[in-house]
Structure 1
Amino acid sequence: MRIVFMGTPEFAVASLEALLEAGENVVAVVTAPDKPAGRGQKLHQSAVKRFALARGLPVLQPEKLRNPGFLTELAALKADLQVVVAFRMLPESVWNMPPLGTVNLHASLLPQYRGAAPINHAIINGENQSGVTTFMLRHEIDTGSILFSEKVPIAADDTAGDLHDKLMVVGADLLVRTVRAIAAGTAVPVPQEVLAAGVALKHAPKIFKEDCQIDWQRPVDTIHNHIRGLSPYPTAYTSFDGKTLKIFRAKKEKTAVQHEPGTYFTDGKTLLKFACTDGYIQVLELQLEGKKRMDVVSFLRGYRPSSVTFPS
C-alpha cells in the first residue's frame, strides 16, 4: 500500500519509525508548518519533520488543510491509506480521499476519553489503566469505528509524561498491526456506538492555564492526581511567596491536618509541603517563576522562603 503519514510531535515519530521499520511504503509525510520558537524566534521544525527529512521522505506542511494547492499535492501522491497520529482535525476532503480511508491512533481506550488531552485526563481522574486505539476517521472527532486497542497499566506515581512514553511505544506497535490487517483485508471495524451503549463516557477536552492552578481545598488524592496528570506539561502551579511555583512531582501524605489548606511548611533544607483538607502534598520536583526546574533539595539550597516552619 501507498501510505501518507500525518503527525507532528515526538509521540508520532515512534509510529512513523515503526511503519518504516516494518517495511511499509510511506510515500510522504504531512506535518505542521515551521514555527518561530525561543528567544531568537528561529523557525522550529516539528519532530516528525526532522525525522522524515533524516529518512529522505517528502514533507508537506500546509497552513490550511482545505487549500486547493495542498489538496492537489495530496491527491497526486495516490495514497491507498492515510495514517494520522497526533495531528490536527482533518476536513472530509482530506480524510475521505484515499480508497481505504484514514486510520487514526488515539491515546486512550475509545470510546472513553475522546478529545485533545486523553493522557492528562486519565491520570487526573485517577485511572489505573489507559491504552491506545486505532480507528477509522469520520466527521465527529474521535468517534469512528474501532479497529484495534491495547490496554496499558498506569502506576500509582506515573505522570502524564510517563504514560505518554508508554503509550507512544505500544501505540506504534498497534499501528503497524492495524496497517497490516487493513492490507490483508482482515480488519473488522466495530462502531463505537456498540461499545458506548449504556456506558458513562469520560471526556478529554483541551486543558487551559486556568485548569492547571492547584485548589488546596480539595482532597490530597485529587490534588496528587492533578499534579501527576499535568506533568511535565502544561504543569500544575500554585502561588509561593508571591510568585508562581510549578510542581512536576510530589508525593501525598494522608493524615489529619490542623492547618489552613494551602499553607506551606519547610525545614529550609530538604522538605517543602503544602496542607490540603485531609493531608499534605510533599513537593519533590518544582520550578519557581524565573528559575530552572530542579529537585526540592537543590531549590531549598539556593532559596530561602519567607518563613521556615514545620508543622507541629
Structure 2
Amino acid sequence: MGTPPFAAGVLSFLIQRGYPVKGVVTAPDRPAGRGLAQRPSAVKTTAQEHNLPILQPESLQDPEFLESLALWQAPLFVVVAFRMLPRQVWEMPPLGCFNLHASLLPQYRGAAPINHALINGETETGLTTFLIDDQIDTGALLLQKVLSIANTDDAGTLHNKMLEAAGPLIAQTIDGLRAGNLQAIPQPDVPAENLKPAPKITRETCRINWNCSPTRIVNLVRGLSPAPCAFSTLDNNGKQVDVKICLARAEHTACMQEPGTVATDKKKTFKIACKGGYVHILELQVPGKKRMKTEAFLAGFREEGPLLFQNPL
C-alpha cells in the first residue's frame, strides 16, 4: 500500500527479489499538469508494469474495497507512504500490517520526517518498520536502520539514501514475520517535551527568519531543497519578489548589519546578514525562472539601491 515514487521504489525492490506480491492498493488517479489529465500514482504505474492487481479506493472503509482486499488473502500488508488505515484494514492479515517510517521512531512522528531531521540539524536519522495501530506512527517497533546525515545532504539526497536502505529493511521485516522470529516491542516512553515532531510542511515552515543564526538558516534550506524550498521576500525600493533559496553556505562572523540586508559584489557574492554572521546564497530561483547559480542570477540582475530580505512579522 503506497502512492509516491518512494513507495514505488520499494515495490520494485520486492518484485525483483521474488516476493509474491498479491496486489497493490494506491490512491485514485488525479488530474495533473497543464491539461489536468488523469495521472496515475507512481505505485500504480509500477504495478501495471508487472501486471499486478490494483485497488484504488476513495474511501478505505468502502465495503466493496474491503471485500476485494480480503479476497486477495494476503498474509501480510506492507505500507509505505500511504494514508492512515482503518482498523478493518490493518487487522485483516494474519501476520500483521506494518509500515515503514523515515525516522528512528518515536522521534519525528508525522508527515515530513526527512525534512525536519535536516531542519533541526541532525547528524543521524534512520528508518523504522512498525506494526500499525489506531494512532499515527505509535505502533510497536519491528526493525530500525540507522543512517548518517552528511553536512552536504539535503532532503533530496537523504530521500535517496533512505530509498536505497528501505527495500532491504522491508524485506528483512517480511522474512522475520513470515518465519515467526521477529518480536515487536512497544515504542520507548519518551516525555512529550523530548519528542521532536515532523508535521506537514507549510508555506510558513519555508519562510526564512533572518534573525536566526547562519547554521539554522542553512539547515532550513537543506531540509526544504530541492522542493518546496525555503524562501524569503526581497524588497528593492518597494518592489517585492519571493526568492527561493536552494543552496546556501553559513559564515559565522561579527555582523553589524540589519538581519536580511543583502551584501553583494554583483558578480559572485550574494550574502545575507543574519544573527551572528551571513548566509551565502549559492543557488536560487526567482518567479518565472529555473533554479540557477548565484553567478548567473547576478549576471542578469540590474536592480539598484539597497536590497533587503523581509523578516516574518
- Calculate the TM-score normalised by the size of structure 2: 0.93
Residue 284 of structure 2 corresponds to which residue in structure 1? 286
Within 5 Å, which residues of 2 pair with 1:1-312? 6-193=1-188, 196=190, 200-241=194-235, 242-307=240-305
> Aligned equivalents of 1:240 and 1:135: distance in 2?
44
Query: Which region of structure 1 is more displaced relative to structure 2, 225-234 or 123-132?
Result: 225-234
CA deviation vs aligned residue, 1:4-56 (integer Å, no higher than 9, x gap): xx011111122111211221110111111111112211222211111111121
Kindly indicate whether the alpha-carbon contact (under 8 Å) linking 2:234 and 2:243 is maintained by their aligned counterparts in 1. Answer: yes
Query: Which region of structure 1 is more displaced relative to structure 2, 44-53 or 74-83?
Result: 44-53
Unaligned runs of at least 5 residues, structure 2: 308-313
- The SS at the match of 1:183 is helix
Instruction: Report % sequence identity.
Output: 50
Q: Which amino acid aligns with 1:143?
A: T
Change (3 A) 1:306 1:35: farther
* Offset of residue 174 of structure 1: 0.4
> Aligned equivalents of 1:20 and 1:220: distance in 2?
45
> Aligned equivalents of 1:187 and 1:108: distance in 2?
20
> Aligned equivalents of 1:72 and 1:261: distance in 2?
59
Change (3 A) 1:305 1:60: farther
* Offset of residue 306 of structure 1: 3.5
* Offset of residue 197 of structure 1: 7.1
Counting matched residue pairs gives: 303
> Aligned equivalents of 1:224 and 1:197: distance in 2?
29
> Aligned equivalents of 1:113 and 1:99: distance in 2?
29
Kindly indicate whether the alpha-carbon contact (under 8 Å) linking 1:224 and 1:252 is maintained by their aligned counterparts in 2. Answer: yes
- The SS at the match of 1:114 is coil
> Aligned equivalents of 1:129 and 1:45: distance in 2?
34
> Aligned equivalents of 2:264 and 2:55: distance in 1?
53
> Aligned equivalents of 2:26 and 2:174: distance in 1?
20
> Aligned equivalents of 1:83 and 1:232: distance in 2?
28
* Offset of residue 232 of structure 1: 1.7
Kindly indicate whether the alpha-carbon contact (under 8 Å) linking 2:95 and 2:178 is maintained by their aligned counterparts in 1. Answer: no
Kindly indicate whether the alpha-carbon contact (under 8 Å) linking 1:268 and 1:308 is maintained by their aligned counterparts in 2. Answer: no
* Offset of residue 193 of structure 1: 3.6
- The SS at the match of 2:23 is strand
* Offset of residue 157 of structure 1: 2.2
- The SS at the match of 2:21 is strand
Kindly indicate whether the alpha-carbon contact (under 8 Å) linking 1:266 and 1:308 is maintained by their aligned counterparts in 2. Answer: no
Kindly indicate whether the alpha-carbon contact (under 8 Å) linking 1:147 and 1:188 is maintained by their aligned counterparts in 2. Answer: yes
Change (3 A) 1:197 1:23: farther
CA deviation vs aligned residue, 1:252-303 (integer Å, no higher than 9, x gap): 1111112110011222222211110111111111110222112222222233
- The SS at the match of 2:65 is helix
Kindly indicate whether the alpha-carbon contact (under 8 Å) linking 1:268 and 1:304 is maintained by their aligned counterparts in 2. Answer: no
Query: Which region of structure 1 is more displaced relative to structure 2, 87-96 or 290-299?
Result: 290-299
Kindly indicate whether the alpha-carbon contact (under 8 Å) linking 1:181 and 1:187 is maintained by their aligned counterparts in 2. Answer: yes
Kindly indicate whether the alpha-carbon contact (under 8 Å) linking 1:268 and 1:305 is maintained by their aligned counterparts in 2. Answer: no
Residue 3 of structure 1 corresponds to which residue in structure 2? none
CA deviation vs aligned residue, 1:75-103 (integer Å, no higher than 9, x gap): 11111100000111111111111111211
Q: Which amino acid aligns with 2:94?
A: P
- The SS at the match of 1:7 is coil
- The SS at the match of 2:199 is coil
Kindly indicate whether the alpha-carbon contact (under 8 Å) linking 1:7 and 1:84 is maintained by their aligned counterparts in 2. Answer: yes
Kindly indicate whether the alpha-carbon contact (under 8 Å) linking 1:159 and 1:232 is maintained by their aligned counterparts in 2. Answer: yes
Query: Which region of structure 1 is more displaced relative to structure 2, 43-52 or 298-307?
Result: 298-307
Q: Which amino acid aligns with 1:20?
A: I
Q: Which amino acid aligns with 1:77?
A: W
- The SS at the match of 1:248 is strand
CA deviation vs aligned residue, 1:153-212 (integer Å, no higher than 9, x gap): 001121111111111111111001110111111111011046x47992211111211111
- The SS at the match of 2:122 is coil
